[in-house]
């Protein structure tokens, strides 16, 4: 054959034959051979090209959103990397399938991906108009166009579209193609896929659509903006009724069904769309972090795997925290180039469940730095109950134990109180109430660094041998802590000595209910119930009469402030008052919370001039007040057989600060420690120390003493 073609070409190009070659039979024989050869080569090349096209994307499972549930099992948030919420074809009503096929591609189950008659008809019109805007595409071709091709309208694009359609038909069954199409097609108003469209327009899942709703949705893909019922109800109604007539013509609905459906008005959903995407984002970030670090899931699995994640979140608590964090009045003013950041973690100390969490202020990108869980900053004086006073109670110290408060230098370490004064001796209760540093360092040295370090480690703080220094008493640790770790640790005192490891996730399942991961409670008995309750009363006094007064919320509340001074470096020389980090950690009988504030990058132009007792304590007050607004007021649980040191102390059993802490209007905090002790002494016997002072200073007291 090839030799015949060559001979034919030589003859027709010869001058003698060039003018008459087309009249001879041999010409037509050669011409036919060339056309046949070109057809064979062209079709073979097209087939090889078509087979080489990659349509593996269709065989990958469609990305399914992951849903987050709160502590009550209610769905509260959606997590997805896709604009589509896919459904299986089994969930799509038959009337909707028929409506789509009758409207878009009535020969769908008959052709092989390309309907030649429709293509030729559309191509003829395109050639006449020159704009190549005619349809003629099958459902398979539309799927190919949506997934693999640009939106330009050219002959080459249509050829490529046909090739992809043929390859898709070789790869998937007709039902699989229809399912992919329904999940991928655009239905207007930003809604991709039939499930999203059903929810958006009618407020229901796809399986709940009736005949007229199915017909309306089937009419949208051709021109979503024109036929959207939100843009033009009349055009939408006309288009819907056209779809119904096509279904009637194809025998998929009866005349009676057609008449009933076309007479029905368009009824859209009422109210706003309940869109769970992006809700409670700060907490969801924590959930993702925990699912990856604790249970080994990947981010892709969480975004596309259709997981059901059940959590310990309380929406009231989470909403309270998010509301406060959106209000700038509760936070220090930042700078134009950098705002003051903050993080809060709120736990149920009885279980360890994270009820609420916010990891940043302002707008944040997906999975940005979480200041509630990923932060590593020194806690300042907020650590004292965990590394000094808690372990001291274990060693037999009491709230009335006398602690040294004078000039101190231990192996070159010379702490100072914040007021640069000394009181000689103070009680443990006073040292904690006023957050004096020297007594804390002196006491840690007395009980031993190992004792303080061990107690903090048992409470869950990330302490190492590098932290075995006296600066441990004041929060000077090597790696730092997060609000979540501090809240978890303080939960020890709030839960009568038992620390429950914090968690956000209770379980992770598939859509069908298969359990992939289950939370296993982890508890550590850090201290005795008696000592934990004594510490709670000491920390109640801090809130009632000490540095944490701004945290008082009208119900039993215990807590501690913390501030971290600026480093003593050349950069900060000349700044007499400034902080790098400020904290408040506190708890009620129901919840434990820790708040940190500071700059992401602290330098000479970015530091705090506040303390843990101001804004952090105020944030605690606002968040907990809102979170517990409807909760009944209860007292901290008293352990069985508790011996009250405020009643048994031989030196000062006179009602003392424990009783004062129950009086929320007590003003003794404005007095000196010695005045407080005098007040408590006289209060025990129902006397007024101020009246006594007036009486004694008048000379009556001295006169009686001399007469006696």
* CA 523 to centroid of chain Cα atoms: 25
Place of tokens 């016997």: 685
Residue 603 φ then ψ, to 5°: -150, -170
* 40: its two tokens: 């064979």
**Whole-angstrom Cα distance, residue 60 to residue 147?**
13
Give dist(CA 509, CA 73) in Å, integer. Answer: 13
Tally Cβ neighbours within 10 Å of residue 128: 9
- 3-state SS class at 617: helix
- Which residue is associated with the tokens 């020194």? 378
Q: What are phi and psi of 78, to 5 degrees?
A: -125, 140
Report residue 294 as tokens.
């604790």
* Backbone Cα Rg of the chain: 39
104 in catalytic set: yes
In Å, what is the CA distance from 138 to each residue of 103, 114, 215, 465, 585?
11, 6, 19, 71, 64
Annotated catalytic, 511?
no
User: Which tokens hold the place of 65?
Assistant: 């959103």
| Whether the Cβ atoms of residue 136 and residue 122 lie closer than 8 Å to each other | yes
140: CB partners within 8 A, 6+ apart: 105, 108, 113, 114, 165, 168, 169, 177, 181
* List 214, 339, 342, 381, catalytic entry: 381
In the beta sheet, which residues pair with residue 442? none
Q: Give the sheet arrangement for strand 66-69, strand by strand.
A: 75-79, 66-69, 308-311, 505-509, 515-518
Identified catalytic residue from 77, 80, 104, 590: 104
Residues annotated catalytic, as ranges: 104, 381
């Amino acid at each position: 054959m090839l030799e015949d073609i060559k001979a034919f070409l030589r003859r027709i190009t010869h001058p003698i034959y060039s003018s008459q070659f087309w009249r001879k039979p041999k010409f037509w024989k050669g011409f036919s051979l060339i056309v046949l050869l070109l057809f064979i080569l062209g079709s073979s090349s097209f087939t090889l090209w078509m087979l080489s096209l990659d349509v593996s994307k269709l065989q990958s499972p469609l990305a399914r959103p992951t849903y987050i549930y709160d502590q009550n099992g209610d769905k509260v948030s959606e997590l997805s990397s896709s604009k589509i919420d896919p459904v299986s074809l089994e969930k799509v009503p038959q009337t909707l399938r028929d409506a789509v096929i009758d409207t878009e591609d009535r020969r769908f189950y008959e052709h092989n991906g390309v309907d030649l008659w429709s293509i030729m008809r559309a191509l003829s019109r395109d050639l006449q108009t020159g704009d190549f805007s005619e349809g003629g595409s099958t459902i398979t071709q539309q799927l190919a166009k949506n997934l693999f091709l640009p939106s330009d309208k050219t002959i080459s694009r249509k050829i490529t579209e046909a090739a992809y359609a043929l390859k898709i038909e070789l790869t998937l069954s007709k039902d699989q193609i229809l399912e992919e199409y329904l999940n991928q097609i655009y239905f207007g108003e930003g809604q991709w896929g039939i499930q999203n469209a059903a929810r958006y327009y009618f407020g229901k899942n796809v399986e709940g659509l009736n005949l007229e709703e199915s017909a309306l949705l089937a009419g949208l893909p051709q021109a979503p903006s024109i036929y959207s019922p939100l843009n033009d109800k009349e055009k939408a109604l006309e288009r819907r009724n056209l779809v119904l007539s096509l279904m009637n013509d194809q025998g998929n609905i009866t005349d009676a069904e057609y008449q009933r459906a076309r007479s029905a008005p368009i009824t859209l959903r009422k109210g706003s769309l309940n869109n769970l995407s992006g809700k409670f984002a700060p907490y969801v970030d924590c959930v993702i972090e925990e699912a990856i670090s604790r249970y080994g899931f990947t981010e892709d699995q969480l975004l596309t795997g259709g997981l059901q994640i059940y959590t310990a979140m309380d929406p009231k608590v989470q909403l309270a925290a998010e509301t406060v964090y959106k209000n700038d009045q509760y936070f220090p003013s930042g700078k134009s180039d950098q705002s003051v950041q903050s993080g809060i973690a709120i736990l149920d100390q009885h279980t360890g469940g994270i009820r609420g969490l916010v990891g940043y202020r302002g707008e944040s990108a997906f999975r940005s730095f979480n200041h509630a869980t990923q932060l590593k900053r020194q806690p300042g004086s907020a650590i004292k109950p965990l590394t000094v006073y808690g372990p001291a109670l274990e060693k037999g110290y009491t709230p009335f134990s006398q602690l040294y408060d004078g000039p101190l230098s231990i192996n070159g370490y010379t702490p100072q109180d914040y007021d640069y004064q000394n009181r000689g001796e103070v009680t443990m209760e006073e040292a904690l109430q006023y957050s004096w540093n020297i007594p804390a360092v002196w006491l840690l040295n007395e009980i031993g660094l190992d004792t303080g370090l061990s107690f903090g480690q048992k409470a869950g703080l990330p302490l190492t041998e590098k932290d075995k220094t006296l600066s441990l008493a004041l929060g000077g640790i090597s790696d730092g802590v997060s609000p979540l770790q501090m809240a978890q640790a303080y939960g020890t005192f709030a839960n009568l000595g038992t620390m429950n490891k914090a968690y956000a996730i209770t379980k992770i399942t598939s859509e069908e209910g298969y359990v992939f991961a289950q939370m296993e409670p982890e508890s550590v008995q850090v201290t005795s119930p008696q000592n934990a309750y004594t510490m709670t009363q000491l920390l109640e006094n801090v809130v009632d009469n000490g540095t944490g007064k701004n945290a008082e919320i009208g119900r039993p509340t215990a807590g501690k402030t913390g501030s971290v001074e600026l480093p003593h470096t050349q950069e900060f020389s000349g700044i007499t008052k400034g902080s790098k980090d400020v904290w408040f950690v506190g708890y009620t009988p129901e919840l434990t919370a820790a708040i940190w504030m500071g700059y992401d990058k602290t330098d000479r132009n970015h530091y705090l001039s506040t303390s843990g007792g101001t804004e952090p304590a105020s944030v605690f007050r606002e968040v907990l007040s809102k979170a517990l607004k409807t909760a009944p007021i209860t007292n901290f649980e008293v352990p069985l057989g508790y011996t009250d040191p405020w009643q048994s102390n031989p030196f000062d059993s006179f009602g003392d600060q424990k009783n004062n802490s129950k009086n929320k209007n007590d003003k003794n905090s404005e007095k000196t420690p010695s005045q407080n002790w005098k007040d408590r002494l006289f209060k025990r016997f129902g006397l007024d120390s101020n009246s006594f002072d007036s009486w004694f200073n008048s000379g009556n007291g001295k006169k009686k003493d001399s007469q006696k």
